[in-house]
Protein backbone atom coordinates (compact mmCIF):
# COMPACT_ATOMS: atom_id res chain seq x y z
CA UNK A 1 0.00 0.00 0.00
CA UNK A 2 1.33 3.42 -0.94
CA UNK A 3 0.76 6.62 1.00
CA UNK A 4 -1.56 7.85 -1.74
CA UNK A 5 -3.60 4.64 -1.54
CA UNK A 6 -3.78 5.01 2.24
CA UNK A 7 -5.40 8.43 2.18
CA UNK A 8 -7.56 7.54 -0.80
CA UNK A 9 -8.94 4.54 1.08
CA UNK A 10 -9.67 6.61 4.20
CA UNK A 11 -11.44 9.23 2.11
CA UNK A 12 -13.47 6.49 0.39
CA UNK A 13 -14.52 5.15 3.79
CA UNK A 14 -15.70 8.59 4.88
CA UNK A 15 -17.66 8.93 1.63
CA UNK A 16 -19.22 5.50 2.17
CA UNK A 17 -20.34 6.47 5.67
CA UNK A 18 -21.78 9.75 4.41
CA UNK A 19 -23.80 7.90 1.75
CA UNK A 20 -24.83 4.93 3.90
CA UNK A 21 -26.02 7.00 6.84
CA UNK A 22 -27.22 9.94 4.73
CA UNK A 23 -25.00 12.28 6.68
CA UNK A 24 -24.94 14.76 3.82
CA UNK A 25 -28.61 15.37 4.53
CA UNK A 26 -27.86 16.41 8.09
CA UNK A 27 -27.55 20.04 9.11
CA UNK A 28 -24.77 19.15 11.56
CA UNK A 29 -21.45 20.74 10.73
CA UNK A 30 -18.01 19.46 11.49
CA UNK A 31 -16.02 21.65 13.84
CA UNK A 32 -12.37 21.08 14.57
CA UNK A 33 -9.77 22.87 16.62
CA UNK A 34 -6.45 22.30 18.28
CA UNK A 35 -6.55 21.49 21.98
CA UNK A 36 -4.21 22.93 24.55
CA UNK A 37 -1.84 20.38 26.15
CA UNK A 38 -3.91 20.46 29.34
CA UNK A 39 -7.13 19.81 27.42
CA UNK A 40 -5.50 16.98 25.49
CA UNK A 41 -3.68 14.97 28.16
CA UNK A 42 -4.38 16.76 31.45
CA UNK A 43 -1.73 17.09 34.16
CA UNK A 44 0.91 14.40 33.75
CA UNK A 45 3.72 13.31 36.03
CA UNK A 46 6.15 13.18 33.12
CA UNK A 47 6.87 16.46 31.33
CA UNK A 48 8.45 15.30 28.08
CA UNK A 49 5.39 14.28 26.07
CA UNK A 50 5.69 15.68 22.52
CA UNK A 51 2.57 17.79 22.94
CA UNK A 52 4.14 19.51 25.95
CA UNK A 53 7.28 20.23 23.94
CA UNK A 54 5.23 22.11 21.37
CA UNK A 55 6.08 19.80 18.46
CA UNK A 56 2.57 18.38 18.10
CA UNK A 57 -0.95 19.48 18.85
CA UNK A 58 -4.12 17.50 19.34
CA UNK A 59 -6.69 18.20 16.65
CA UNK A 60 -10.22 17.48 17.81
CA UNK A 61 -13.19 17.05 15.49
CA UNK A 62 -16.76 17.08 16.76
CA UNK A 63 -19.56 15.59 14.70
CA UNK A 64 -22.82 15.76 16.57
CA UNK A 65 -21.95 14.54 20.06
CA UNK A 66 -19.07 12.37 18.85
CA UNK A 67 -15.44 13.40 19.21
CA UNK A 68 -12.50 12.25 17.13
CA UNK A 69 -8.90 13.25 17.77
CA UNK A 70 -5.57 13.09 15.99
CA UNK A 71 -2.05 14.20 16.88
CA UNK A 72 -0.47 16.34 14.19
CA UNK A 73 2.32 18.83 13.64
CA UNK A 74 0.10 20.58 11.08
CA UNK A 75 -2.68 22.19 13.15
CA UNK A 76 -5.71 23.62 11.43
CA UNK A 77 -8.80 25.46 12.58
CA UNK A 78 -11.78 24.39 10.52
CA UNK A 79 -15.56 24.57 10.42
CA UNK A 80 -17.41 23.01 7.54
CA UNK A 81 -19.41 20.10 6.25
CA UNK A 82 -18.32 16.55 5.55
CA UNK A 83 -18.42 17.34 1.84
CA UNK A 84 -15.87 20.08 2.53
CA UNK A 85 -13.59 17.53 4.20
CA UNK A 86 -13.98 15.13 1.29
CA UNK A 87 -12.82 17.85 -1.07
CA UNK A 88 -9.57 18.50 0.82
CA UNK A 89 -6.20 17.60 -0.71
CA UNK A 90 -5.28 14.84 1.71
CA UNK A 91 -2.45 13.43 -0.39
CA UNK A 92 -0.34 16.58 -0.50
CA UNK A 93 -1.61 18.89 2.22
CA UNK A 94 -0.75 17.88 5.82
CA UNK A 95 -3.51 20.15 7.15
CA UNK A 96 -6.14 18.37 5.06
CA UNK A 97 -4.68 15.02 6.04
CA UNK A 98 -5.01 15.71 9.77
CA UNK A 99 -8.55 16.97 9.30
CA UNK A 100 -9.52 13.80 7.42
CA UNK A 101 -8.10 11.56 10.15
CA UNK A 102 -9.77 13.41 13.04
CA UNK A 103 -13.02 13.66 11.06
CA UNK A 104 -13.14 9.97 10.20
CA UNK A 105 -12.51 9.13 13.86
CA UNK A 106 -15.42 11.36 14.89
CA UNK A 107 -17.81 10.10 12.21
CA UNK A 108 -17.08 6.43 12.87
CA UNK A 109 -17.62 7.12 16.56
CA UNK A 110 -20.93 8.78 15.62
CA UNK A 111 -22.04 5.76 13.58
CA UNK A 112 -21.01 3.32 16.31
CA UNK A 113 -18.28 1.62 14.28
CA UNK A 114 -15.48 2.47 16.74
CA UNK A 115 -14.91 3.72 20.26
CA UNK A 116 -11.91 4.91 22.27
CA UNK A 117 -11.37 8.06 20.19
CA UNK A 118 -10.55 10.50 23.02
CA UNK A 119 -7.10 10.55 24.60
CA UNK A 120 -6.57 9.47 28.20
CA UNK A 121 -5.48 12.07 30.74
CA UNK A 122 -3.55 12.53 33.95
CA UNK A 123 -2.58 9.29 35.70
CA UNK A 124 -4.26 7.16 33.03
CA UNK A 125 -1.12 7.49 30.89
CA UNK A 126 0.80 5.54 33.53
CA UNK A 127 -2.00 2.99 33.81
CA UNK A 128 -1.92 2.59 30.05
CA UNK A 129 1.79 1.76 30.19
CA UNK A 130 1.18 -0.88 32.85
CA UNK A 131 -1.65 -2.37 30.79
CA UNK A 132 0.65 -2.53 27.78
CA UNK A 133 3.32 -4.39 29.72
CA UNK A 134 0.69 -6.94 30.76
CA UNK A 135 -0.66 -7.24 27.21
CA UNK A 136 2.80 -7.83 25.77
CA UNK A 137 3.79 -10.33 28.45
CA UNK A 138 0.58 -12.36 28.14
CA UNK A 139 0.36 -12.22 24.36
CA UNK A 140 3.99 -12.35 23.23
CA UNK A 141 6.25 -13.39 26.12
CA UNK A 142 9.43 -11.31 26.26
CA UNK A 143 9.89 -10.10 22.67
CA UNK A 144 12.34 -7.56 21.33
CA UNK A 145 10.12 -4.47 20.96
CA UNK A 146 10.43 -1.60 18.53
CA UNK A 147 8.39 1.28 19.93
CA UNK A 148 7.59 3.62 17.05
CA UNK A 149 6.80 7.05 18.42
CA UNK A 150 8.41 8.13 21.67
CA UNK A 151 5.87 7.90 24.49
CA UNK A 152 7.45 8.57 27.90
CA UNK A 153 5.31 6.29 30.06
CA UNK A 154 5.48 3.38 27.61
CA UNK A 155 9.23 3.80 27.19
CA UNK A 156 9.82 3.82 30.93
CA UNK A 157 7.62 0.84 31.72
CA UNK A 158 8.51 -1.40 28.79
CA UNK A 159 12.25 -0.81 29.19
CA UNK A 160 12.06 -2.32 32.66
CA UNK A 161 10.94 -5.69 31.36
CA UNK A 162 11.63 -6.06 27.63
CA UNK A 163 14.48 -5.46 25.17
CA UNK A 164 13.42 -2.11 23.72
CA UNK A 165 14.38 0.24 20.91
CA UNK A 166 12.51 3.52 20.45
CA UNK A 167 12.16 5.38 17.15
CA UNK A 168 10.93 8.92 16.60
CA UNK A 169 11.08 11.63 13.95
CA UNK A 170 11.23 14.58 16.34
CA UNK A 171 14.73 16.11 16.36
CA UNK A 172 14.10 17.25 19.93
CA UNK A 173 14.16 13.62 21.03
CA UNK A 174 16.40 11.80 18.52
CA UNK A 175 19.76 11.04 20.09
CA UNK A 176 18.59 11.70 23.64
CA UNK A 177 18.50 8.99 26.29
CA UNK A 178 15.15 8.32 27.91
CA UNK A 179 14.76 5.71 30.66
CA UNK A 180 18.13 4.29 29.61
CA UNK A 181 17.11 3.97 25.95
CA UNK A 182 18.64 6.07 23.17
CA UNK A 183 15.93 7.48 20.90
CA UNK A 184 16.74 6.58 17.29
CA UNK A 185 15.73 8.33 14.09
CA UNK A 186 12.56 6.76 12.75
CA UNK A 187 13.68 6.82 9.14
CA UNK A 188 17.37 6.03 9.48
CA UNK A 189 16.87 3.15 11.94
CA UNK A 190 13.67 1.75 10.44
CA UNK A 191 15.17 -1.21 8.62
CA UNK A 192 17.60 -2.23 11.33
CA UNK A 193 15.32 -1.74 14.34
CA UNK A 194 11.96 -2.70 12.87
CA UNK A 195 12.57 -5.15 10.04
CA UNK A 196 15.77 -6.85 11.20
CA UNK A 197 15.77 -6.68 15.01
CA UNK A 198 12.25 -6.48 16.41
CA UNK A 199 9.93 -9.35 17.21
CA UNK A 200 7.03 -7.02 18.06
CA UNK A 201 6.28 -3.48 16.90
CA UNK A 202 4.20 -1.05 18.92
CA UNK A 203 3.39 1.81 16.58
CA UNK A 204 1.71 5.13 17.24
CA UNK A 205 -1.34 5.91 15.13
CA UNK A 206 0.16 9.37 14.65
CA UNK A 207 2.16 7.84 11.79
CA UNK A 208 -1.04 8.36 9.79
CA UNK A 209 -0.43 12.10 9.74
CA UNK A 210 3.00 11.89 8.09
CA UNK A 211 2.24 8.90 5.88
CA UNK A 212 4.71 6.49 7.48
CA UNK A 213 1.77 4.38 8.69
CA UNK A 214 2.15 2.31 5.52
CA UNK A 215 5.62 1.20 6.67
CA UNK A 216 4.03 -0.84 9.45
CA UNK A 217 1.38 -2.76 7.52
CA UNK A 218 2.11 -6.37 6.48
CA UNK A 219 5.78 -6.31 7.49
CA UNK A 220 6.08 -9.95 8.51
CA UNK A 221 5.92 -9.50 12.30
CA UNK A 222 3.16 -8.54 14.73
CA UNK A 223 2.33 -4.84 14.91
CA UNK A 224 -0.02 -3.31 17.47
CA UNK A 225 -1.09 0.31 17.07
CA UNK A 226 -1.57 2.55 20.07
CA UNK A 227 -3.15 5.96 20.56
CA UNK A 228 -6.28 7.65 19.30
CA UNK A 229 -5.15 8.94 15.90
CA UNK A 230 -5.37 5.48 14.33
CA UNK A 231 -8.76 4.47 15.73
CA UNK A 232 -10.64 4.57 12.43
CA UNK A 233 -7.73 3.45 10.25
CA UNK A 234 -7.19 0.35 12.38
CA UNK A 235 -10.83 -0.57 11.82
CA UNK A 236 -10.76 0.19 8.10
CA UNK A 237 -7.64 -1.92 7.51
CA UNK A 238 -8.44 -4.60 10.14
CA UNK A 239 -5.27 -3.91 12.13
CA UNK A 240 -4.70 -4.64 15.84
CA UNK A 241 -5.03 -1.61 18.10
CA UNK A 242 -4.78 -1.44 21.88
CA UNK A 243 -5.65 1.83 23.60
CA UNK A 244 -6.96 0.69 26.98
CA UNK A 245 -7.36 3.98 28.86
CA UNK A 246 -8.81 6.21 26.14
CA UNK A 247 -12.53 6.82 26.10
Q: Which of 78, 110, 142 is the last residue of a domain?
A: 110
Assess contact for 205 and 228: CB atoms under 8 A.
Answer: yes
In CATH, what number is assigned to the domain containing residue 169?
Answer: 3.40.50.11590
Count of CB atoms within 10 A of residue 31's CB?
A: 14
Predicted TM-score (pTM) of the model is 0.88
pLDDT in tens, 78-133: 788 888 889 988 878 888 888 899 999 999 999 999 999 988 877 788 999 999 99
Strand partners, 112: none
Do the strands 200-204 and 223-226 form a parallel or antiparallel pair, or are they unpaired? parallel
Residues 103 and 141 in one domain: no
Side-chain-facing half-sphere of 112: CA atoms under 13 Å: 1
Residues pairing with 119 in the sheet: none
Which pLDDT does position 123 carry in this prediction?
78
pLDDT for residue 52: 46
Position 27 scores a pLDDT of 43
pLDDT tens per residue across span 186-201: 999 999 999 999 999 9
pLDDT band for 182, please (50, 70, 90 cuts).
very high
Residue 68, pLDDT above cutoff 70: yes
With CA atoms as reference, report the closest residue to 227 among 157, 150, 138: 150
* Same-domain status, 137 and 230: yes
Of 67, 84, 110, the residue at which a domain comes to its end is 110
Same domain, 98 and 202: no
The Cα–Cα gap between 202 and 139 comes to 13
pLDDT of residue 122: 73
**What is the DSSP pairing of strand 30-35 with strand 57-63?**
antiparallel
Residue bearing the bigger pLDDT, 112 or 36: 112
Taking 3-state DSSP, the helix, strand and coil percentages for the chain, each rounded to the nearest 5, stand at 40, 20, 40
| Same domain assignment for residues 102 and 12 | yes
Q: Which domain holds residue 84?
A: 3-110
Please indicate whether residue 33 or residue 206 has the higher confidence score (pLDDT): 206
Kindly state whether residues 180 and 210 are assigned to the same domain: yes
Q: Inform me whether the pLDDT recorded for 220 exceeds 80.
A: yes
Looking at the fold, whether 134 and 220 belong to one and the same domain comes out as: yes
H or E segment at 124? helix 124-140
Amino acid sequence: MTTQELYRRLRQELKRLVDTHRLNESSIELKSRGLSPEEAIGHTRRKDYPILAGREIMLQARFGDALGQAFTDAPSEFCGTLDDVLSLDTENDPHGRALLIATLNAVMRHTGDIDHTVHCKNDDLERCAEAYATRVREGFGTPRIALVGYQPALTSRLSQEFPLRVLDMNPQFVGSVKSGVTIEHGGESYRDAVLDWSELVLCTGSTLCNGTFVNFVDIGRPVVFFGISGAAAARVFSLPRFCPCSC
